[in-house]
Chains A and B, each alone.
Chain A
Amino acid sequence: QQQVKQSPQSLIVQKGGISIINCAYENTAFDYFPWYQQFPGKGPALLIAIRPDVSEKKEGRFTISFNKSAKQFSLHIMDSQPGDSATYFCAASYSGNTPLVFGKGTRLSVIA
């Protein structure tokens, strides 16, 4: 059973548009929700992360929205640029000795 469900699998956005990727989780014990960005030939790198005590976190053009009651969180990329074209993974973990659980990934293409 997949603990973190991510959608869509792929996304094409016009330059300057808003990219939105969604994730849903099952385990209510999760208390850390990061997003990772992966470029071809590279390992994933942390983009932005949120904890459930806040509903939104913004860093530059990247925003995480978190809905604890719905057990959902999403990544919004404002003013999307071709350089944002990459694979994005949501993930979750909880206090204690638990590794990150990743979603299946979203391949984002930003076209001019």
Chain B
Amino acid sequence: EADIYQTPRYLVIGTGKKITLECSQTMGHDKMYWYQQDPGMELHLIHYSYGVNSTEKGDLSSESTVSRIRTEHFPLTLESARPSHTSQYLCASSDAGGAGSEAFFGQGTRLTVV
């Protein structure tokens, strides 16, 4: 089983609240990712990082921000939650291998904004 953890698993919050979704991995992976998974299953890359102090935006425009101060930790923050942010958020990590390497996913955080 992958050593990547997301908290909380479920979160219901009111509109306008600031929230941080936590993601930690104990595998020493340099690469970490955040995906948003819609009810139709599709995975959308919203942020990624290839090391400490390195962050990039993904393909899906997002109002969230991320930070990478420590290798093992990659939190995602929403400054002001809206109902449109209701979704499943998945964190993943992989090592800095060459041509492709396995991405390990956490169990996800299901966020509902009311």
Contacts and interface: CB of A to CB of B under 8 A. Distances in A.
**Chain A facing B: main interface SS:** loop
A89 interface: yes
Given A43-B90, A45-B2, A31 B100 contact: yes
B45 A89 contact: no
A33 B101 CA distance: 10
Contacts, number: 57
**Chain B facing A: main interface SS:** loop
Contacts of A31: 99-100
Interface residues of B, number: 24
A107 interface: yes
A105 B100 contact: no
Interface in A76-91: 87, 89
Contacts of A60: none
Interface stretch (B11-19, B68-76, B78-86, B103-111): B103-111
A105 B48 CA distance: 21
A81 to B, nearest CB: 21
Given A43-B108, A89-B43, A104-B41, A32 B99 contact: yes
Contacts of B33: 99
Interface of B: 2, 31, 33, 40-43, 45, 48, 50, 58, 90, 92, 98-108
